[in-house]
Chains A and B, each alone.
Chain A
Amino acid sequence: MRLPIQSGWLLVLPFLLLVGGLFLGPILNILWLSVTDPTPGLGNYAQLVTSDTLGRILWTTIRVCVICTVFSVLFGYSIAYAMVHAAGPTQSRMLSLLLVSFWISVLVRTFSWLMLLGRNGVVNSGLEALGIISQPIPFMRNELGVLIGMIHYMVPYAVLPILASMQSIDGRVVQASRSLGATGAQTLWRVYLPLTRAGVVAASLLVFIINLGFYVIPAVLGGGKVLMVAEYISVQVLVTLQWGTAAMLAALLLFGVLTLLFIMSRFMKLSTVFGGART
């Protein structure tokens, strides 16, 4: 006798129910709130075109996320490249340093940047003591500060998928390119980059999606001047109690992420993106 469903599903059924109840439920609730609070209708979504504040916040969010993604992936690519070409022991040392940075709390890292680059931070007071500058350089409490903090936080996330795709490259392909007369730059551009494209796409997606929801870093390092969506949602929920607007923005983020994933899935199989390897 055959079960109507594969028995393997029975094993994961309790977790499916848990996920459904604790994850999908609240999300549906948010979607529901966004079209019912304070009055039923699409009024919350209409704010997107009518409200200047919202428009500015969305633009800041997208701009900061794009810049951060570009730099994180650039740095991540260089670090991953150095790692795959390092000798065995150096490579594992580099990997453990990378993992250590995952374990350090975002708060600790954020306040460390303040101590380093703030008005009275190590760098500014050092430069002043040396007489190189007379006014402190405004690194922090602005968009630059937010970018520094976010890029620093995101680089390790960018490294891992890129590293995986680099490790799957057959070294002989690179040798072949050289033996055929290609310069280092040509080999990088025409062989190495295309073969690591899946890793770069995965890293960009991952970094961008995590960036969209950043809260602590913009709040602390932006000094209230860089208002991004996540922080604005929290203000709506905790301070002004406009749940409808908050729910609308949350729904917007959700759809943004899903749309990104969908667009990417048109270009390549998502499994290869997240597997990091070429097929």
Chain B
Amino acid sequence: MTGPGGSLHLRSLCKRYGSYPAVDSVDLQIERGEFLTLLGPSGSGKTTLLMMIAGFQDITSGDILLDGTSIANTPAEKRNFGMVFQGYALFPHMTVKDNIAYPLSVRKRPKAEIAARVAEMLDLVRLTPFAKRFPKELSGGQQQRVALARALCFAPPVLLLDEPLGALDKKLRIEVQAQLKDIHQRVGTTFVYVTHDQEEALSMSDRIVIMQNGRIEQVGTPSDLYQQPKTAFAASFLGKSNFLRRDGAVFALRPEKIDLAPAGAGQGANKVSGAVQSVTYFGAVLKYQVAVPGMDPIEVDVDAWRGGAALPEGARVDLTWSETAAVRLTDQTL
């Protein structure tokens, strides 16, 4: 229903505040129609990077190319990128309909075309019955969808979203995630999505960029990043990890990839023995903390339905894992 998405190329992009690098030589190729997520802790430079792409933050050095053409000197209003702000930034004095029509009416499109397009967008975000309401008469999730419809209304090649679900409660957030993903597939626009919620990143993205201190830590598909983290930061920021030191290298080992058995029952080359320190029941899984002499406590997830009754604290256990389960990291130390 919308034109094809645009591709973005960020070339050694930097933003310094004084001498502080908020974004530090970022190189990134964003493909046409991709759902790309910038994930990182607070202060890692996600918003700054997004605002540079949007044109609201000037570039200290580097370049941004849209479909091969530099847009570094194009002002924000000429870039034609849709943007969904944290807190939505809807126009409080306009109805839902006028909010959505705004990008078309400032482009002086014919009335009939605007009306048809707005109706189409209202339908897309399922807000047709709310067209005449004002933003303050809507729930958070509804406002979020108005912001999305407004930003998509003029068929931008790229849509930028800064923590668009940050203000929603957990349950609503999961619902809107699914809607957002569905809309992305239908419109074919390139989405650049900022979040610090790792589950959100894993469930929605085609690729995830993990950022730290203004730099890209690692880029990859959700399963790449989860199965093959390159650094301890990536391994611990996306999901949980145990870290093991072996032969002068550091390995990451996911809690659910470890088999736990009563002492003596464990088989295999990768095996350590220890004692149960604590066990917590989470419905689907049992989380064990196992104290192993000479190592940090190891966390192990066991499917609750498989293991029968939980082993008591102090019980002696063997921990085993397959050769491929432990991933060698580039870090030399922790």
A residues engaging B (CB < 8 A)? 170, 172-173, 175-183, 186, 190-191, 194-195, 278
Given contacts A170-B89, A182-B103, list 12 more A-B pairs with CB under 8 A: A172-B89, A173-B92, A175-B56, A176-B85, A176-B90, A177-B102, A178-B56, A182-B106, A183-B77, A190-B106, A191-B91, A195-B93
Nearest B-chain residue to A186, judged by Cβ: B106
Nearest A-chain residue to B51, judged by Cβ: A175
B15 in contact (CB, < 8 A):
no
A179 touches B77 (CB 8 A): yes
Chain A's interface: helix, strand, loop or mixed, by majority? helix
Neighbour of A194 across the interface among B55, B76, B79, B93, CB < 8 A: B93
Bound-state CA distance A182–B91 (Å) is 13
B93 touches A180 (CB 8 A): no
A181 touches B154 (CB 8 A): yes
A179 touches B81 (CB 8 A): yes
User: Which residues of the other chain, B, contact A181 by a CB distance below 8 angstroms?
Assistant: 77-78, 80, 103, 106-107, 154
A176 touches B106 (CB 8 A): no
Number of interface residues of B (CB under 8 A): 27
Nearest B-chain residue to A174, judged by Cβ: B89
What is the CB-to-nearest-CB distance from B160 to chain A, in angstroms, rounded to a whole number? 8
User: Which residues of the other chain, B, contact A182 by a CB distance below 8 angstroms?
Assistant: 77, 102-103, 106
B residues engaging A (CB < 8 A)? 54-56, 75-83, 85-87, 89-93, 102-103, 106-107, 150-151, 154
What is the CB-to-nearest-CB distance from A237 to chain B, in angstroms, rounded to a whole number? 47
Bound-state CA distance A180–B87 (Å) is 16
User: Which residues of the other chain, B, contact A191 by a CB distance below 8 angstroms?
Assistant: 91
Bound-state CA distance A179–B56 (Å) is 9
Neighbour of B154 across the interface among A170, A172, A180, A190, CB < 8 A: A180
User: Which residues of the other chain, A, contact B81 by a CB distance below 8 angstroms?
Assistant: 179
Bound-state CA distance A183–B78 (Å) is 9
What is the CB-to-nearest-CB distance from B25 to chain A, in angstroms, rounded to a whole number? 26
What is the CB-to-nearest-CB distance from A85 to chain B, in angstroms, rounded to a whole number? 15
B106 touches A180 (CB 8 A): yes
User: Which residues of the other chain, B, contact A190 by a CB distance below 8 angstroms?
Assistant: 102, 106
Bound-state CA distance A180–B102 (Å) is 8
Bound-state CA distance A142–B86 (Å) is 56
What is the CB-to-nearest-CB distance from B157 to chain A, in angstroms, rounded to a whole number? 13
Bound-state CA distance A113–B217 (Å) is 66
Bound-state CA distance A33–B107 (Å) is 62
Bound-state CA distance A195–B90 (Å) is 12
Nearest A-chain residue to B77, judged by Cβ: A178
Nearest A-chain residue to B147, judged by Cβ: A176
Quick one: which of B75, B79, B81, B89 has the most chain A CB within 10 A?
Answer: B89
B87 touches A179 (CB 8 A): no
B89 touches A180 (CB 8 A): no
Q: List 28 A-B contacts (CB under 8 A).
A: A172-B87, A173-B91, A175-B56, A175-B76, A175-B85, A175-B89, A176-B83, A177-B91, A177-B106, A178-B76, A179-B54, A179-B82, A179-B151, A180-B77, A180-B83, A180-B106, A181-B77, A181-B78, A182-B77, A182-B103, A182-B106, A186-B106, A190-B102, A191-B91, A194-B93, A195-B93, A278-B92, A278-B93
B89 touches A173 (CB 8 A): yes
User: Which residues of the other chain, B, contact A173 by a CB distance below 8 angstroms?
Assistant: 89-92
Bound-state CA distance A221–B151 (Å) is 55
Bound-state CA distance A179–B84 (Å) is 9
User: Which residues of the other chain, A, contact B55 by a CB distance below 8 angstroms?
Assistant: 179
Nearest B-chain residue to A172, judged by Cβ: B89
Once A179-B77, A180-B106 are accepted as A-B contacts, the answer to whether A195 and B92 lie under 8 Å apart by CB is yes
What is the CB-to-nearest-CB distance from A168 to chain B, in angstroms, rounded to a whole number? 11
Nearest B-chain residue to A175, judged by Cβ: B56
User: Which residues of the other chain, B, contact A170 by a CB distance below 8 angstroms?
Assistant: 87, 89
User: Which residues of the other chain, A, contact B103 by a CB distance below 8 angstroms?
Assistant: 180-182
Nearest B-chain residue to A170, judged by Cβ: B89
What is the CB-to-nearest-CB distance from B242 to chain A, in angstroms, rounded to a whole number? 41
Bound-state CA distance A194–B102 (Å) is 14
What is the CB-to-nearest-CB distance from B260 to chain A, in angstroms, rounded to a whole number? 50
Quick one: which of A170, A180, A190 has the most chain B CB within 10 A?
Answer: A180
What is the CB-to-nearest-CB distance from B221 to chain A, in angstroms, rounded to a whole number? 29
User: Which residues of the other chain, A, contact B85 by a CB distance below 8 angstroms?
Assistant: 172, 175-176
User: Which residues of the other chain, B, contact A179 by a CB distance below 8 angstroms?
Assistant: 54-56, 76-77, 79, 81-83, 151
Across the A-B interface, give the 3 residue pairs with the lowest CB-CB distance, nearest first.
A172-B89, A180-B103, A176-B89
Bound-state CA distance A190–B93 (Å) is 10
User: Which residues of the other chain, B, contact A176 by a CB distance below 8 angstroms?
Assistant: 83, 85, 89-91
Bound-state CA distance A34–B33 (Å) is 79
Bound-state CA distance A190–B79 (Å) is 20
A183 touches B89 (CB 8 A): no
Nearest A-chain residue to B82, judged by Cβ: A179
User: Which residues of the other chain, A, contact B79 by a CB distance below 8 angstroms?
Assistant: 179
Neighbour of A180 across the interface among B86, B92, B150, CB < 8 A: B150
